[in-house]
Amino acid sequence: MQTKDIGFSYNQPRVLNKVTISIPSGKMTTILGPNGSGKSTLLHVMANNLQPETGEVLLDNEKITQFKPKELARRLAVVHQQNISPSDMTVERLVSFGRMPHRNVFRNENKQDQEAIEWAIESTNLDDFRNTPIIQLSGGERQRVWIAMALAQKTDMLFLDEPTTYLDIFYQLEILELVKKLNRDYGITILMVLHDINQAIQYSDELIVMKQGEVYETGRPDRIITRELIRGVYGVDAKVAFDDTAGMYILPTTLKEGAAAT
């Protein structure tokens, strides 16, 4: 998937400006950047949830606006940051919503649907919660349910908007490990927005670093994450170090001289 010269604004000023990126198939790509850098907006534009003012988003060299909604939903699934569901919604019922793009009014659930739902529930380890209302689950379990729904869509691409925000560190790692497994085992192309730089370094094949609505840098984490980049993007001085097991990581030390939060 690629974007060409994406520009977007809610009002003035521009939230995205001339964003041209490409998402490599079969890889895990993370959009990283400070608050207000436009990273979530970019994800929504790429998911066809927001219409860009300029530029276009291409999937297999075809504009995503040309796809029928259902057709796009069979190619691309999205896990949003905050989700709402009615109080009597059970895990299995929600996951079965993921089959909607494959169904129509005149076709009931078939074997293929059931298999996809089973697979989604098993891959996200939700077997024990099938008939539990989502409202009774913990934050981490809930996030897995929404991921399961997206999986039931059986798409080759999965977008996640800050999937670890609001979660305890245990669930954060659990979710990221799950996403990694989906990528490695099933070859699903991942595009996610993350807030935590170290998690982004650890779990991404490619990084897209944004600042003030523009792409600041793209590339492999170990090639692009430097002291200068952190300083330039976040206005923070940080130590870039290596650990034998975790690999590369950063440790913020001080605010950049004279820097104000952007």
Contact residues for another protein (CB under 8 A)? 44, 47-49, 68-74, 76-78, 80, 83-86, 88-89, 93, 97-98, 100-101, 103, 105, 153
**Least distance in angstroms from the C-beta of 193 to another protein:** 14
**Least distance in angstroms from the C-beta of 66 to another protein:** 14
Q: In this complex, which beta carbon is closest to another protein, that of residue 106 or of residue 170? A: 106
* Contact present, 175 and 145 (Cβ < 8 Å): no
**Least distance in angstroms from the C-beta of 122 to another protein:** 21
**Least distance in angstroms from the C-beta of 81 to another protein:** 10
Q: In this complex, which beta carbon is closest to another protein, that of residue 55 or of residue 101? A: 101
**Least distance in angstroms from the C-beta of 124 to another protein:** 17
**Euclidean distance between CA atoms 127 and 157, whole angstroms:** 24
**Euclidean distance between CA atoms 255 and 220, whole angstroms:** 25
**30: β partners:** 192, 207
Q: In this complex, which beta carbon is closest to another protein, that of residue 28 or of residue 78? A: 78
Q: In this complex, which beta carbon is closest to another protein, that of residue 146 or of residue 171? A: 146
| Cα–Cα distances in angstroms (integers) from residue 161 to residues 43, 110, 117, 153, 249, in the given order | 7, 31, 22, 17, 22
25 closest CA partner among 191, 219, 223: 191
Length in residues, the chain: 262
Q: In this complex, which beta carbon is closest to another protein, that of residue 18 or of residue 103? A: 103
Q: In this complex, which beta carbon is closest to another protein, that of residue 75 or of residue 231? A: 75
Who's near 211: CB < 8 A, 6+ residues apart? 33, 34, 37, 232, 233, 262
**Residue 42, helix vs strand vs coil:** helix
**Least distance in angstroms from the C-beta of 216 to another protein:** 27
**Terminal CA-to-CA distance of the chain, rounded, Å?**
30
